[in-house]
Amino acid sequence: MNLDAQRKKRIHKPMLIAVWTLIFTLMIPLSTVAAKGKAEVADDIKIQQDGQEIKLADPARVIGNKLYLPVAQVAKLFGAKVDWDPDNEEATIDTTFGDSIVLGNGVPVVYFNDNRYVTATSPFEMDGRMYVPLRDAAEWLHAKIDWNEEERIAVLESVPQAVVTEEQGLAEIGKIAGVSAGELLKRNGLKSEEDVKPNAKLRVVIPSIFEHEAAPFTEKDLQLLAKITQVEAGNESYESQLAVANVILNRVKDSRFPDTIRGVIYSGKQFPPAHNGLLDKSVAKATALRAAKDALNGKNNIEDAVYFYNPKVTKGAFWSGLTVVDTVGSHRYAK
């Protein structure tokens, strides 16, 4: 079973808008470039939505050539609602057109109406706020973006749904919107042209993330990865558990190791709990499940490390000869 169903089981908690403000990134060229990885205030940037200038409660910020804006205001402009799940560090955007988008902190995979897509820029948390690309966000909110470099204005334009009539069917709507009939069907959750009924309203803005579907994973994979993570780092932080999960997934990608999660866990000597019965008895807790899911969705905090060990316990020439990538909790992560 594809793990998209996992998202449906979550119970969203109301977002504390006053504390948590989601921010979107506008991927456009800027003449003023901030230092890489450092957010700089850009007081000269103006935001316009449907012909009116927007007064920002927080200043616009730039990182490199990307512009960041507070989503609380942007979502409100387009009638969207946002819920924040603090336990999983996930934000859910519910749009006026019935779309639901789930974003995880540092997770490059976005859930869009329970389908999974890879984004060019992972959402990330900073100063109590989570940031994601505005260009993507505008598309999710059924809007267009333009950038006026001369006036330093980011222009957002709402796009209404198209109405099917006798004179304007799927082909005509697609031609006007500049998209194919197949793209329109997929965007609106329809299987064939026969599903397009008169007076139906069609969403015509096609999010660019639709071109990048995420690789699927199964419930079985998630549970096994979470269980071994629980055994190996269950008494440590989420970051430690995420690191363990990523060692296993890095091995799956490495030709020196088996190419499945189960194969990696049950082969060799790196994971003794797989051979002494502890793994079979393990019950993954919420943090381990989150770490495993986030890792499967592409969140990685130990780069390409394929080994981990506790330097207070594990010693020897092999381990000392490895290149240490990072230290997380009680473990060193190496390759």
Same domain, 130 and 176: no
DSSP per-residue string spanning 84-135: EETTTTEEEEE-TTS-EEEEETT--EEEETTEEEE-SS--EEETTEEEEEHH
d(CA 33, CA 64): 5
Q: Give a yes or no: residue 252 inside a domain.
A: yes
Q: Mean pLDDT in the chain? A: 86
Question: Domain check: are 100 and 226 in the same one?
Answer: no
Same domain assignment for residues 13 and 151: yes
Of the three residues 204, 230, 259, the one that is the final residue of a domain is: 204
Q: Are residues 9 and 142 in the same domain?
A: yes
Q: Which two tokens stand for residue 283?
A: 């019950």
231 within some domain: yes
Looking at the fold, whether 199 and 322 belong to one and the same domain comes out as no
Q: Please indicate, yes or no, if residue 278 is contained in any of the structural domains.
A: yes
| Domain count along the chain | 3
Are 8 and 151 contained in the same domain?
A: yes
- CATH number at 109 reads 3.30.457.10
Is 257 in the same domain as 123? no
Whether 16 and 112 share a structural domain: yes
Q: State whether 197 and 330 are in the same domain.
A: no
> Would you report the helix, strand and coil content of the chain in percent, each value rounded to 5?
30, 25, 45
195 plus 103 within the same structural domain:
no
**Do residues 102 and 31 touch, judged by C-beta distance below 8 A?**
no
For 206, the token pair is 């096609």
Asked whether residue 96 falls in the same domain as residue 46, the answer is: yes
* Neighbouring C-beta atoms of residue 208, cutoff 10 Å: 15
Buried b (16+ CB within 10 A) or exposed e, 124-148: eeeeebbbbbbbbbbbbbbbebebe
> What are the pLDDT digits (tens) for 177-225?
999 999 999 999 999 999 999 999 999 999 999 999 999 999 999 999 9
Mark the ranges of the chain whose per-residue pLDDT is less than 50: 1-36
- Specify the DSSP element, H or E, that contains 333: strand 331-334
Residue 214 sits at φ, ψ, to 5 deg, of -80, 150
Q: Tell whether 163 is covered by a domain.
A: no
Both 146 and 49 in one domain: the answer is yes
**Residue 321 falls within a domain, yes or no?**
yes
| pTM confidence score | 0.83
C-alpha pair distances (Å), 149 with each of 28, 31, 152, 183, 186: 9, 8, 5, 31, 34
The domain boundary residue, chosen from 134, 157, 180: 157
Q: Helix 219-233 to helix 238-253 angle, to the nearest 10 degrees?
A: 120
213 lies in a domain?
no
User: What is the per-residue pLDDT for 37?
Assistant: 60
Q: Per-residue pLDDT tens for 25-41?
A: 444 444 333 334 677 77
Percent of the chain residues topping a pLDDT of 90: 67
Q: Is 210 within a domain?
A: no
Q: How far is Cα 119 from Cα 66, in angstroms, rounded to an integer?
A: 15
Domain membership of residue 151 as a residue range: 4-157
